Amino acid sequence: MKETTPAAMPPCFDRWCKRFDDIFSHQAQKREFRNYVGGLLGESERKNLSQMANNAVGVTYHRLHHFLTEAPWSAPEVNERRLQVMNKCSQTKISRGFTLILDDSGHRKSGNFTEGVGRQYIGEIGKTDNGIVVVTTHLYDGSKSLPLDIELYQHASSLPEGKKDFEFKKKPELGLALIDRSLDRGYRPGLVLIDAGYGNNTTFLLELEKRKLKYLGGIAKNRKVIIASVGGTFKEIRLDNLAKSLPSKDFTPIQLNLEKKKTVWVASIEVELSRLEGKRTIAIVMNASTFDEASDIDYFITNVDGSTATSEWIVTTYSQRNWVEVFYREAKGWLGLKEYQVRDKRSLLRHFILVFCAYTFILWHTLTGGLRRRWANKPLNTFPEALEAFRTAISFRFIEWLNHNRDVFLAYKASLGFVWA
């Protein structure tokens, strides 16, 4: 059953899309931009090109496909405009000193014809499988979580010359390039949050420090650090052995207010590391009060001053990375981030940026209260609530459109039956 038509989209959607019109050189591009973003926001269970075209009256597959793969428009330019739109409104403006979260996410993809696909670790399923991985940067400022940039990680097996191919770049290289994009815009974060895949890379940390950025990240348990021992001498020790040697009184219980509250035990200590000048603060976080009882132990590193980087600050600040997981869950579950019918890198990145646009549209209206005033009877505090309000608006206006287009209504009645009518 077709669920909507571009003619029945709420006025707020067209007003928002008009902010992008001057980027597109042809009227057809402006039209398909609205159709594609509208399809991502629609109620269809699948968000691939075929399903989005089938679910809307007046939208065709070949036009959507041409827009995504062949039409001459720039995805980076659309992404820049998206961020400019957010920055022009007082409720949505990007705050100074925000936290920049660098992360990567993967999803399964069968076959070997799609660019970037390869057998690699997929965090979504927690194991190695055939799939695609993207590296992304996100903003979190205490009131909103916003995706900034995205880049496709091209696995060595997907390139003609493997790791020797000039297009091959490791994830830390891609991450630094994305961070530099934010700095070039004038978006200087107060802190960069990274997981152990980046935090354990000394070269990456040195590059962050060259850019005068503060960071907090995971680090591997087998990483060796230098600590002061009895008698003023120094010794090198693995982090897991260091954690095992600390008395239980060194660990402080801290309650984290996440989606599910939990208590962790944290010990922090200043150490030195090879290739890094000066001291860094290391935190050991366990899910039990003693090392022997703990079944989950994490290690963190930061170059933030020790007077600020207390045990409580480290765990509560690092918990902000949960907002990235929330974004991926919403973008994949509601907006079809991992659903597409294209294979080349340019088209993939276009799809990802259009998903960012759909997500930002809902976020913008959530923060400004536009959807709440007419299409909801309660505060819209979460992305799913705001999206549901917008879909209510689409359904309401589609029924009105059908009433004024009886020929379409009668065709629907004939094909779907009296109960639906």
Of 187-196, 280-289, 385-394, the one with minimum mean pLDDT is: 385-394
Q: Can you give the chain as a three-state secondary structure string? A: CCCECHHHCCHHHHHHHHHHHHHCCCHHHHHHHHHHHHHHHCCCCCCCHHHHHHCECCCCHHHHHHHHHCCCCCHHHHHHHHHHHHHCCCCCCCCCCCEEEEEEEEEECCCCCCCCCEEEEECCCCEEEEEEEEEEEEEECCCCEEEEEEEEECCHHHCCCHHHCCCCCCHHHHHHHHHHHHHHHCCCCCEEEECHHHHCCHHHHHHHHHCCCCEEEECCCCCEEEEECCCCCEEEEEHHHHHHHCCHHHCEEEEECCCCCEEEEEEEEEEEECCEEEEEEEEEEECCCCCCCCCCEEEEEECCCCCCCCHHHHHHHHHHHHHHHHHHHHHHHCCCCCCCCCCCHHHHHHHHHHHHHHHHHHHHHHHHCHHHHHHCCCCCCCHHHHHHHHHHHHHHHHHHHHHCCHHHHHHHHHHHCCCCC
Lookup: tokens for 141:
């400022």
Residues paired with 140 in a beta bridge: 99, 145
Each residue of 323-377: pLDDT tens digit?
999 999 999 999 999 988 888 999 999 999 999 999 999 999 888 887 777 777 7
Judged against a pLDDT cut of 60, whether residue 1 lies above it is answered with no
Q: Can you give 8-56 as a three-state secondary structure string? A: HCCHHHHHHHHHHHHHCCCHHHHHHHHHHHHHHHCCCCCCCHHHHHHCE
- Confidence band of 288 (pLDDT split at 50, 70, 90): very high
Mean per-residue pLDDT over the chain, rounded: 89
Q: How confident is the model at residue 165, as a pLDDT? A: 87
* Mutual angle of helices 322-333 and 383-403, in 10-degree steps: 20
- Confidence band of 13 (pLDDT split at 50, 70, 90): very high
Q: How confident is the model at residue 143, as a pLDDT? A: 86
Q: What's the mean pLDDT in 107-114?
A: 85
Q: How confident is the model at residue 421, as a pLDDT? A: 43
Judged against a pLDDT cut of 60, whether residue 408 lies above it is answered with yes
Lookup: tokens for 238:
């693995």
Residues paired with 117 in a beta bridge: none
In this predicted model, which residue has the larger pLDDT, 208 or 408? Answer: 208
Each residue of 230-287: pLDDT tens digit?
666 788 999 999 999 999 899 999 988 776 788 999 999 999 998 888 899 999 999 9
Judged against a pLDDT cut of 50, whether residue 420 lies above it is answered with no
Q: Where are the domains of the chain?
A: 6-73+369-416, 83-328
Residues 203 and 188: their CA atoms lie apart, in Å, by 21
Q: How confident is the model at residue 25, as a pLDDT? A: 92
Q: How confident is the model at residue 146, as a pLDDT? A: 95
Q: What's the mean pLDDT in 56-61?
A: 88
Of 39-48, 104-113, 408-417, the one with minimum mean pLDDT is: 408-417
CATH class of this structure's domain 83-328 = alpha beta
- Confidence band of 416 (pLDDT split at 50, 70, 90): low
Q: How confident is the model at residue 414, as a pLDDT? A: 66
pTM for the model: 0.91
Contact predicate 192/214, CB 8 Å: yes
In this predicted model, which residue has the larger pLDDT, 49 or 404? Answer: 49
Lookup: tokens for 87:
């920055």
- Confidence band of 76 (pLDDT split at 50, 70, 90): very high
Q: How confident is the model at residue 409, as a pLDDT? A: 63
Q: What's the mean pLDDT in 131-139?
A: 95
Lookup: tokens for 293:
């009882």
Q: How confident is the model at residue 415, as a pLDDT? A: 61
Q: Can you give 207-254 as a three-state secondary structure string? A: HHHHCCCCEEEECCCCCEEEEECCCCCEEEEEHHHHHHHCCHHHCEEE
What percentage of the chain exceeds 70 in pLDDT? 95
Q: What's the mean pLDDT in 49-56?
A: 89
